[in-house]
Structure 1
């Protein structure tokens, strides 16, 4: 085999082949653990809210300018994820502008609004409110998991009703296959220059942001190559019974929880990091709303961003309305209604404070394992598959 053939084989396996959900889940957990060790936990909603707040500031709704998106850590995480997914899509020649039919555009607007409301109530989406909340040993993550399951069930029922009663034909795809190699090179240059710029900045947190930008680009790349999708993990057991993605998510959460457990035990991160005052009602109600909406959207918080990176216009619409609604609703929750100060939606419950680190991990591992048993059993029996 020549050197050229070796390179083609390597390029094909790393940059063009789809990774399995198990591989994607393991790599995602590793990157999430590294990110939390390096700087901070992974999150989605804070960055979207920052973008929404800039729009609100521009129209005069907010009096004070939000932090600059390029120097606000939550925003940098989201930008890195989109860039990593875009890099993956272009290098695999899978990027293209995909314009949905009218019904999907309407669904994108409605779903984005509901995702903004649900994530505001839970103080996080499927990542900050569920995946990373569990990984950071917060009881709120378990409550949101239950809410997501209920919401996804409602969302699946709607989709099946839509198939019977509404038509969603049409849509256009603008093929950019010939441009993809050039776009991939540009994306790689942006990633390198961006990381270099952060590391060589005189700002105190410049190097921290540079590492975070690079790691979340890795997250976006991995999620796109593995099609890693938490919507799929929750939806398919009800829609088709298929549980492959759910197994990948289960393994990923378990590994991330174990890694972050040691990070907090070692004192690298403060115990209450990503433990929000939303247990139980904020996480549960927010999870129901967000779960139903993400099924209709066809993407969750993270899934919407990596699909933006591959050119999905519907998810771009979702992200816009998600960001604006979350920014508005959080403004009222925080500053007008003061729900967190009054404890109206719950309290912050850090499981190790009650059960110790060992007990907290056993409880969370049991919850995750019960989810695995359910999806595995349901795949074989189809007891909870919703038929037409």
Structure 2
């Protein structure tokens, strides 16, 4: 159900302005932070005026509220090794998101419905990176178990006789988020909608445990197909709306089709996939888990905030300039074969994915345990 609700919200965002993306908002935070420190990083505007920044902030608030409603909020401090993996994974995600011009949301959850073949290649990279990271994590557990072991600390944990304040404060957080959205109506209806939908996304993600990392990781770990099925449902719902929006000319056909087919997508996707698995959350997964109080994912967000501005300024220009145009194309499949066949291709890919995860769940062929 969570994937379906997120798909509906994604369609609403596209009608308002553009589809759902997460890494752009985090990059905007980093750009503004470094500019405050005297840097010269290009950004899309002030934090409170950039739609995706507002979306990400309200998403954290929504997840915070969801955790409070269910008395699941706590400040959870991991062992030092896990904290380092969160930071390192975030740095890799920032690098991969900029080089691949995508993240798991913009380049996968929204990229597939946009009928971008670059999104398919990016997803192949994500799967490759996830597989490599799973292999590393299993190696670490078996050979160096002390790297991520140690004391953990939880503060404000609800329990018997404790935490009764959390649901009440959750109402306060939701009301505050709605007030923020309402205040934007006086200056920008787009920002108002992004704020409201961001709050909605956070609540849905937290309550449904929506996680792209688990969708791609679990076939190699437990074999469970449930996370993948949730992502598939969201993509299918989004695709229905996106195709209508593009075909009817409500929004531009090339929207959310990036110049990353095929080299940037495969390289960026692999780096991002490795990083998100090490960190334990992709961009949006880090955001909503940060709202729950997971300090490891706070470190992941910090890593992305640091890596994305520096990668965009110092690495991406040289990387893209070194590639011929044939390796960094905008590949909108309906432009080549028409809308009907293009949708059929994406549905066929999703059917193969569905058959694979269900078969693997039953046989455990690719699962670690």
Same fold (TM over 0.5): yes
SS of 1:133's equivalent? Answer: coil
Where does residue 173 of structure 2 map in the other structure?
187
The 1:273–1:64 alpha-carbon spacing in structure 2 relative to 1, beyond 3 Å, is: closer
Give the aligned partner of residue 355 of structure 2: 373
Q: Which residue of 2 aligns with 1:246?
A: 228
Q: CA deviation at 1:35?
A: 1.3
The partner residue of 1:267 within 239, 249, 258 is 249
| 1:55 to 2:33 alignment | yes
Residue 292 (structure 1) aligns with? 274
The Cα shift of 1:58 comes to 2.1
Q: Secondary structure at the match of 1:60?
A: coil
Q: Does 1:232 align with 2:214?
A: yes
1:40-73, Cα deviation, whole Å (9 max, x unpaired): 2111011111000012212222166751111111
8 Å CA contact 2:41, 2:313 repeated in 1? no
Alpha carbons of 1:348 and 1:242: their partners in 2 closer, same or farther (altered >3 Å)?
same
Offset, 1:75: 0.5
Q: Residue 140 of structure 1 is aligned with which of 102, 110, 118?
A: 118
Secondary structure in structure 2 of the residue aligned to 1:279:
strand
> SS at 2:38's partner residue?
coil
Offset of 1:358 from its aligned partner?
0.8
* Cα separation, 1, equivalents of 2:319 and 2:139: 37
Q: Does 1:78 align with 2:56?
A: yes
Where structure 2 has 5 or more consecutive residues not aligned to the other structure, the ranges are 158-162
Alignment equivalent of 2:152, drawn from 157, 165, 171: 171
TM-score normalised by structure 1 residue count: 0.89
Deviation at residue 97 of structure 1 after TM alignment:
0.5
Match in the other structure for 1:332: 314
Correspondence 1:1-388 to 2 at 5 A: 23-62=1-40, 67-164=45-142, 165-167=144-146, 168-176=149-157, 177-201=163-187, 206-333=188-315, 339=321, 343=325, 346-386=328-368
The Cα shift of 1:308 comes to 0.8
Q: Is the 1:100–1:313 Cα contact (8 Å) retained in structure 2?
A: yes
5+ unaligned residues in a row in structure 1: which ranges?
1-22
How much has 1:189 moved relative to structure 2? 2.5
- Runs of 4+, deviation exceeding 3 Å: 63-66, 333-345
Q: CA deviation at 1:86?
A: 1.1
Q: Distance in 2 between matches of 1:70 and 1:106?
A: 30
Q: Which secondary structure state, in structure 1, belongs to the residue aligned with residue 261 of structure 2?
A: coil
- The alignment yields a C-alpha RMSD, in angstroms, of 1.8
Change in 2 beyond 3 A, CA 1:59/1:119? same
Structure 2 distance, partners of 1:309, 1:386, is 30
Distance 2:321 2:87 in 1: 26
- 1:274-294, Cα deviation, whole Å (9 max, x unpaired): 111000111111111111111
